[in-house]
Structure 1
């Protein structure tokens, strides 16, 4: 056969198919009607008419073929399919749609996952392309888009968009992901396209594609159990340029944010008074953010975080001393940072001259954003020279001793921004070892913690827990749920608030936040003059601080494996337990998750936070111990109308029963009797040291613990329903 007219595109496709070769033994079977692709794991059957395809794994069908067409481009289904080339791990095919437009399709296998690609033969053609199969449920993912709905739910079946991205369909999204997983059916999908995408998640179809493109280079299907899927997803993200970075320890402690405490009224005196008050009360702060007001305030052209190195001389007369004071107290100091440049700003002319800003029709374009208030130029993050220049400017802040940045672009006016608009900048900062709180991004994790959009008193409180769980489904597990109390209590931004409702809100909000990977305070809780509020907030802060080493260990495991260990939704942790499904919504409010492999969080949260003290709490298979009372339960079981008062720590211990806590600078391994026997690896805060703990018996009242590194027996004690011993970094232990 001759395939004239497609040589250039075909050659490009073959280059892609031959990259990242895996050891796959691919069998290709072709007849008049279909092409079948078989590996030792997968079987894909493609019907030539319509390019309808079904996906099976180990003899079980995971996704059936779409009833009409599996590949549609330029609004026209594929009519003909021909096999072009076969390799050990991939194939190339020529397809034509009903309009007669040709494209080249590739399928490449990587063990448990495989990649589809499609490219128009005519390089001048641009239009929509999408692949689709029948649908399956339940399905999870889509990051912010799962939460910003009228009825928030982590289950995204029913969602569709022909223009999916950061501002699609009027739904705000800063951490954007089109990754969708059905853990019950052991399959996931993502079209790795930072521009606008096509998505449909329904019973009838799973559809993903791209808008106004010449090709889809990387649409992946992942199969297997949840841990296999997330490991492959991690590998693919790193391979395709959406890098996942190792996070830093301090971010997983208790923080403080100036805007939540003071609004716009920030200066070295108000900040010191507020932070000192928290420290004096015993709050174990490890990081602080000053997001606004530190720049020169007398000229409008300097009212932004892009005043690099220029401080307001009256508000911050001694920047070095200001920063040094907090660093000596052990806090990481973080400043707000944006890529928005005000016209006539300190560095704007240089950026214009060197063409470092986003352009339209060959000219730099002004954008409207929520802050700064004036129209701004935005850094072109697709220009490596522009990114390098911006990182050089960041050094002006770092030279003062600043540890990192809260990346904070929001409220931009257009929907055709690529979703990775900040990723290159954040990657550059992370490569330098800078501490980064991320608020914008696509698929990867060039940041230490994932902050979701402002979460305030006057909003739908079900959005918060749904947002955090959706982050984890989407591969963003280092969740930071915004400031306790939100960003509106300081400065009376919400007007008159019912005091009784506010006090309950603060206590429920702090319990919820304390069980997230990171948390922070702002509004001074002492301002209410309410002892119960003060006690609950301090207790929650101390509990989070005690668990910081354990949470960070889970974060490092997520970095290594891709599995969202710091905040694991139950449908991922117990994927074959159907009773874990369909509960994370504003009806059931079954907001539960695993922290690591041993703790289950079940905070009472949602829009009914002020009207109830009870929840139905589900316990999967296994032994579960109440963190506060020590009472044992045997799952699976539903604890109906379980009482959760505000002064209760909403945690159960289960899994392997191994928890690490810090107390007065010392690290303690805590072993709960949940019937586990086996080995546990704990990663220490330096990110390098590990301790292997071989648990052989936990039922004894006086267990023998041996330090295998020194050969000596270790002293143990009973404390809060567990026995514990002091854990030394890099030392290994046996319990019998």
Structure 2
């Protein structure tokens, strides 16, 4: 396998010479190739059926230990895309293992450029909305990169990896989990209509906050700048503040999103992001747990952080975002009632800013 050997040689060489983590981007290869690169799916055509195929293809990749599959957003070949197809490809790309814009050497005179600004203010607004969201999700993505490294479970996974005993999970190849917490069903039709199956449980629309029951299939219309993403009730999703850079450091404040009532947890993973020191244990884990007590009491426990690495913060501030149905009647920090917090009625979200404190201390927040 010439490609496998080429990937190995370049990966090992780049890692050895730089002292940093190797990374290469390669065409999808044969058995064994998954050890080294991220894969792209080749020079695809800019068509709706191709986008639909890429969604199902990416979800299946983890079955053969290929967690990082990326696509030429908007396709590689073909004439200028209609904006709705380009927008749907971007929306899928943001909830993919890797997000990457690329296409053929376009000719401006032929009008087949692929850059978002070619589509004017509408294209720029869409790019800003979703690319900003992608940078905010970096703590979530990075923690799942670590889990994939440890457990060989991909961040983008078909429904049956979460529900192996549920027959219905094998019937929906064009939707997937993005981690355990999020379910994504990209819009794959120019009409903007999308049929979504939600597994058992309770689900919350990631963007609108609307609640939906599980165990059902429904069809809804999504505007060109909307995409179906749902979060498990009880889930915990960490974020960072919006940034122009995906590797912005340090992670301060840490934004913790808590969705609805119920049980949920997340293991936040951090390291220096560059060196190979993580292989010798230079990393940190921060447990985050959401629990429900009696009499409608909800509790979030953060930390303490275990482990250390070069450049690690010893203190950080926090922003807690409680996505709920009703405005909380009270919120307390480590048993002390808080008077300063805000309520975003349009998103039914309580926002609590917590003062800077040592990462080695546990934080307890309660509300009802």
Q: TM-score, normalised by structure 2?
A: 0.69
8 Å CA contact 1:671–1:698 kept in 2: the answer is no
8 Å CA contact 1:514–1:540 kept in 2: the answer is yes
8 Å CA contact 1:690–1:729 kept in 2: the answer is no
CA distance in 1: counterparts of 2:58 and 2:181, whole angstroms: 19
Q: Please name the residue that 2:116 is paired with.
A: 525
The alignment partner of 1:533 has SS state of helix
1:446 deviates by 3.5
Task: Find the structure with the greater CA-based Rg.
Answer: 1
CA distance in 1: counterparts of 2:52 and 2:303, whole angstroms: 47
1:616 aligns with 2:186: no
RMSD of equivalent CA atoms: 3.2
8 Å CA contact 1:626–1:651 kept in 2: the answer is yes
1:669 deviates by 0.9
Q: Please name the residue that 1:653 is paired with.
A: 231
Deviations 1:680-726 (A, max 9, x none): 3111253622111132238999956565549x749776564455667
1:694 aligns with 2:280: no
Match of 2:27 among 431, 439, 448: 439
CA distance in 2: counterparts of 1:730 and 1:573, whole angstroms: 32
1:561 deviates by 0.6
CA distance in 2: counterparts of 1:480 and 1:615, whole angstroms: 23
Q: Please name the residue that 1:629 is paired with.
A: 208
CA distance in 2: counterparts of 1:444 and 1:722, whole angstroms: 44
Aligned length: 295
1:430 deviates by 6.0
Question: What are the equivalent positions in structure 2 for 1:29-178 lying under 5 Å apart?
Answer: none
Match of 1:451 among 25, 40, 46: 40
CA distance in 1: counterparts of 2:164 and 2:294, whole angstroms: 29
Q: Please name the residue that 1:375 is paired with.
A: none
Q: Please name the residue that 1:220 is paired with.
A: none
1:595 deviates by 1.3
CA distance in 2: counterparts of 1:476 and 1:729, whole angstroms: 38
CA distance in 2: counterparts of 1:698 and 1:518, whole angstroms: 38
Q: TM-score, normalised by structure 1?
A: 0.37
CA distance in 2: counterparts of 1:684 and 1:729, whole angstroms: 16
1:557 deviates by 0.6
Q: Give structure 1 stretches of 5+ with no counterpart.
A: 1-416, 489-493, 585-590
8 Å CA contact 1:613–1:644 kept in 2: the answer is yes
Q: Please name the residue that 1:603 is paired with.
A: 186
Deviations 1:511-537 (A, max 9, x none): 1111102112353222233x3333222
Q: Please name the residue that 1:671 is paired with.
A: 258
Question: What are the equivalent positions in structure 2 for 1:149-298 lying under 5 Å apart?
Answer: none
1:515 aligns with 2:95: yes
1:733 deviates by 4.2
The alignment partner of 2:292 has SS state of coil
CA distance in 2: counterparts of 1:583 and 1:535, whole angstroms: 31
1:471 deviates by 1.3
CA distance in 1: counterparts of 2:294 and 2:2, whole angstroms: 55
Deviations 1:177-221 (A, max 9, x none): xxxxxxxxxxxxxxxxxxxxxxxxxxxxxxxxxxxxxxxxxxxxx
8 Å CA contact 1:568–1:595 kept in 2: the answer is yes
Deviations 1:535-590 (A, max 9, x none): 222212112221122112112111111112x1011011111111111332xxxxxx
1:651 deviates by 0.9
8 Å CA contact 1:599–1:655 kept in 2: the answer is no
8 Å CA contact 1:438–1:447 kept in 2: the answer is no
The 1:466/1:630 distance shift into structure 2, 3 A limit, reads same
Q: Please name the residue that 2:128 is paired with.
A: 538
Match of 1:682 among 247, 268, 271: 268
Question: What are the equivalent positions in structure 2 for 1:15-30 lying under 5 Å apart?
Answer: none
Question: What are the equivalent positions in structure 2 for 1:481-496 lying under 5 Å apart?
Answer: 481-482=71-72, 484-488=73-77, 494-495=78-79
The alignment partner of 2:201 has SS state of strand
1:670 deviates by 0.6
Deviations 1:66-110 (A, max 9, x none): xxxxxxxxxxxxxxxxxxxxxxxxxxxxxxxxxxxxxxxxxxxxx
CA distance in 2: counterparts of 1:704 and 1:604, whole angstroms: 35
1:652 deviates by 0.4
